[in-house]
Amino acid sequence: MRRKDLGLIGLAVLTVGLVALTLLRTALPGTGVDLRDLPSGVETTPATADPARSTGEPVPTEDPDAPRPAGDPLGAARAVLASGAPVVVAALGDSTGNETWEWTYTWARDLGTDRPVTVVSWNEWTEAGYIEPRLVSDGGAGPAAGAVTIYSGHHTGARAGYVAEHAGALLPERPDLVLLNYGHNSPASEIAAELAEALDAVRGSAGRDVPVVVILQQPRLDGEGADVREAVADWATQEGLGIVDVARAFSESGRPLADLLADPVHPNEAGTRIWADAVARALGPPADGE
């Protein structure tokens, strides 16, 4: 063997020896390795290491309050209404739902075809509670089991922050389902924060497990509001909440928007019918073929 070859072999043996001494001097991560002590180019992934660390990405710490992904965010809401048990619904929003001919009452009458339904309207004058309950359907004079009580906490000009300000009065009893109907009175830059306050207030009163559904309100004649709806949808999706896309139902109706609104913002009876049908489809049992 040539001297040059012997020299190369000797150098290789010396290098291996230095690496071995380094590994003996310090422990591996998880057994304590300081990777900075390893020679350049040496990679090591202990069997007990978190696989996420081997990618170089930070390992997320689980937040118990973080929203959980759900395959069907509306499923829990549907289950509440389909349970056959008495149900309390809190439908909270602005002036698109405060009249007896608007979507809240219209949807309530639809629900009342086979079960008793009562609507209790928010007292907009005192803002301190609700007025006397109104039985909108006796469900065919059947038994009270399965009755639905809807607290229609709609207030003219209200933004979602109104819920946090009046939570105690808006939620006089624990709801089984909450609908949040806001957006027309808020800018896109603020609506998500307002809805977050509302959600915190609802969960503080009703618990974290209560199903919450967010409504994307109908288009306006002035063309404004699309950015608000997008912000609402993004926020609701991030929170894992169900969404009722009323705006899409209006667009897909095939009718001119002017024929569906009583003024630039509020739906007329035809628009209300579309709105209530959208809520019924989202929260009712799946239609045949779906």
| Residue 283 confidence (pLDDT) above 50 | yes
Q: Do 143 and 40 fall within a single domain?
A: no
Q: Do 122 and 251 fall within a single domain?
A: yes
Q: Do 185 and 271 fall within a single domain?
A: yes
Inside any domain, residue 25:
yes
| Residue 188 confidence (pLDDT) above 50 | yes
Q: Do 117 and 230 fall within a single domain?
A: yes
Tokens, residue 151: 């607290």
Tell me how many domains the chain contains.
2
Inside any domain, residue 111:
yes
Please give the single-letter amino acid code of residue 220.
R
Give the pLDDT mean for 34-61: 32
Q: How far apart are CA 1 and CA 69, in angstroms?
A: 67
Inside any domain, residue 54:
no
CB atoms within 10 A of CB 252: 11
Inside any domain, residue 58:
no
Q: Do 203 and 272 fall within a single domain?
A: yes
Q: Do 19 and 92 fall within a single domain?
A: no
What domain range is 277 assigned to?
A: 75-283
Q: Report which listed range, 7-11, 113-117, 182-186, is most confident.
A: 182-186
Q: How far apart are CA 191 and CA 45, in angstroms?
A: 46
Inside any domain, residue 289:
no
Inside any domain, residue 191:
yes
SS3 state at 182:
coil
Q: Do 19 and 120 fall within a single domain?
A: no
Q: Do 12 and 102 fall within a single domain?
A: no
Inside any domain, residue 82:
yes
Beta-strand pair 134-138/177-181? unpaired
At 3, the pLDDT band (50, 70, 90 cuts) reads very low
One-letter-per-residue 3-state SS of 60-79: CCCCCCCCCCCCCCCHHHHH
Q: Do 212 and 258 fall within a single domain?
A: yes
Residue ranges in the chain assigned as alpha helix (H): 3-25, 51-54, 75-82, 103-111, 161-165, 167-170, 188-206, 226-239, 246-252, 269-283
CATH code, domain with 93 = 3.40.50.1110
Q: Do 168 and 247 fall within a single domain?
A: yes
Q: Do 30 and 108 fall within a single domain?
A: no
Give the pLDDT mean for 78-82: 95
Give the pLDDT mean for 266-289: 88
Q: Do 161 and 267 fall within a single domain?
A: yes
Query: Tokens 């008495």 identify what position?
Result: 86
Q: Which residue has the higher pLDDT, 282 or 52?
A: 282
Q: How far apart are CA 237 and CA 60, in angstroms?
A: 20
Of the candidate ranges 6-20, 136-150, 188-202, the one whose mean pLDDT is the lowest: 6-20
Tokens, residue 274: 């579309």
DSSP state of 130: B
| Residue 4 confidence (pLDDT) above 60 | no
Q: Look at residues 18, 50, 47, 23 and name the one whose alpha carbon lies nearest to residue 34.
A: 23
pLDDT tens for residues 239-260? Answer: 999 999 999 999 999 999 999 9
Inside any domain, residue 52:
no
